Amino acid sequence: MGKKYLIDTNVIIDFASGKFSTTTLKEVAKIIDENPIISIINKIELLGFKKVAPQILLFANQAKIFGLDDDIANFTIQIRKQIKIKLPDAIIAATAIQHNLVLLTSNISDFNKIDFLEVIQPTKL
């Protein structure tokens, strides 16, 4: 079985907006179709707007969503003690690490200092 990915909010928004090249769109679509996984933070970010695009709503309803538990909370605390990072990003990173997922994000710089986190940009798939 191949790698599994936690899909960051920016990737879903860019995918739904058609901002990727045809090749990248196909690769991201394959991940979304095979095993859509997000953090509860991603769900909040995606659905927290007054208007939510229908395809984003559909995605959020079909995705496997990892909630916040004590293990993720403790890992988030460790990450925040080691580096300066926004709380939502630390929770997303801790979720990916805890569940052995590769973080698929366009914001590599937000996560590149976190030990044990594998990060990939959609354009590098």
Q: What is the pLDDT of residues 56-99, one digit of tens each?
A: 999 999 999 999 999 999 999 999 999 999 999 999 999 999 99
Element (H, E) at 77: helix 70-82
Domains of the chain: 5-124 (3.40.50.1010)
Element (H, E) at 118: none
Q: How confident is the model at residue 2 (pLDDT cuts 50, 70, 90)?
A: confident
**Unique residue bearing structure tokens 């936690």:** 6
Whether the Cβ atoms of residue 6 and residue 39 lie closer than 8 Å to each other: yes
The proportion of the chain whose per-residue pLDDT surpasses 90, expressed as a percent, equals: 98
With 0.75 as the threshold, say if the pTM is over it: yes
Alpha carbon of residue 25 to chain centroid: 16
Question: Do the bridges between strand 5-7 and strand 102-104 make them parallel or antiparallel, or are there none, so unpaired?
Answer: parallel
